[in-house]
Amino acid sequence: MSSNDLFDEDDLLLTQICEMVENENNGNQCAHEDLDDDTLTQLCLEVEKNETVETGHFYVDLNSQYVDEGFMEETKTSFERFGVPVSNEEIKNLVDSQENANTKKNSKWSYGVFEAWRRHRNDISGVDCFPKLAEMTSNQLNSVLGKFVVECRKQDGTPYPPRSLYLIICGLLRHLRNEKVYDKNILDVNNTTFTEFRSILDARMKQLLSFGFGTTTKQAQPLTVEDELVLWEKGVFGDSNAESLQWTVFFYACKLFGLRGHNEHHALQCEQFEIGIDDKGGKFLEFHGRNSKTYSGGLQQKELINKNIRHYCKEGMYMYITISSKQNYYIFT
């Protein structure tokens, strides 16, 4: 029997309860001693108390409705499939946990720069003429941010490079979204409300570049084969102790499989590596990447795929170098 086959009328439902109880418990001791004239009253009282009464293969639930065992089993299977309901706090924690740590830092830093400038401007004027960012109207944002990008400076008084200035504005936009302000996209080219601000930002970035700000970038130089040999020779790489082994794995995981950032290394698991033989007999070691600094997945990266890199074990893939009679090293190329 399904829940759709049940009677809706109260008098028929109560009659059905009595008949089922009497049939199921005829000659036996039921949950209530002696099925007499009080049986109906007792059942009604228990239902009113929101108690569950088992009557054969049927159950009186909190809403005084009958469900059969098949329905109960289906409900149990549904819970096993979908899991327990989540709270709003759990959903918020999920969203926060997937936000990039550096993005959080940039948003906090950007807002800190703006707040320091806003307080400075209010101190100069002697009145609180500039409200907080999330409290500004569209016209105020258009005007205030235009002044901000021209006046803001580093703590040593030098201007920010063009790229840093743009990243500050991106951080302020994220702050607005975190404050649930979604109708003021200051960088949207289709939003004519902030056309003046974007024109000021564009002109300021061009001016800074003409002054020489942002023309040089910091970049680490790649390690050469000779550099690797020095690291092996000095014991930085090797398997003599846990620390040197860690450094070795860390370095060659970066070099061979393109791992970057401490989070990607920290979350690395053995099951991401596969050792196998292909259909042509070639032995290989394959790395199955997951989310990383440049690939987080989500709506913005639906068309991208995670990083899967395979290296084949064959002649010429590495160099076997002897530093001394007791030191032999494999330098992967």
Q: What is the pLDDT of residue 222?
A: 81
Confidence class for position 84, pLDDT limits 50, 70, 90: confident
In this structure, what token pair is assigned to residue 280?
A: 């042509």
pLDDT digits (tens, 9 = 90+) for 131-164: 999 999 999 999 999 999 999 999 999 999 999 9
Considering only residues 85 and 173, tell me which one the structure prediction assigns the higher pLDDT.
173
Which of 103-107, 161-165, 222-226 is predicted with the least confidence, judged by mean pLDDT?
222-226
Which of 193, 201, 200, 143 minimizes the C-alpha distance to 185? 193
Using a 10 angstrom Cβ sphere, with 0-12 exposed, 13-18 middle and 19 or more buried, the burial of residue 54 is exposed
Confidence class for position 17, pLDDT limits 50, 70, 90: low
Confidence class for position 42, pLDDT limits 50, 70, 90: low
Residue 56 reports pLDDT greater than 50: no
Instruction: Report d(CA 194, CA 198) in Å as an integer.
Output: 6
Confidence class for position 55, pLDDT limits 50, 70, 90: very low
pTM (two decimals): 0.55
Residue 273 reports pLDDT greater than 80: yes
Considering only residues 69 and 124, tell me which one the structure prediction assigns the higher pLDDT.
124
Q: Are 122 and 128 a contacting pair, CB within 8 Å?
A: yes
In this structure, what token pair is assigned to residue 80?
A: 């096993």
Q: What is the pLDDT of residue 7?
A: 43
Q: What is the pLDDT of residue 15?
A: 59
In this structure, what token pair is assigned to residue 154?
A: 């580093």
Q: What is the pLDDT of residue 51?
A: 43
Residue 326 reports pLDDT greater than 50: no
Q: Report, as an integer, the average pLDDT of 109-137.
A: 91
Residue 317 reports pLDDT greater than 50: no
Q: What is the pLDDT of residue 108?
A: 94
pLDDT digits (tens, 9 = 90+) for 235-253: 999 888 999 998 998 898 8
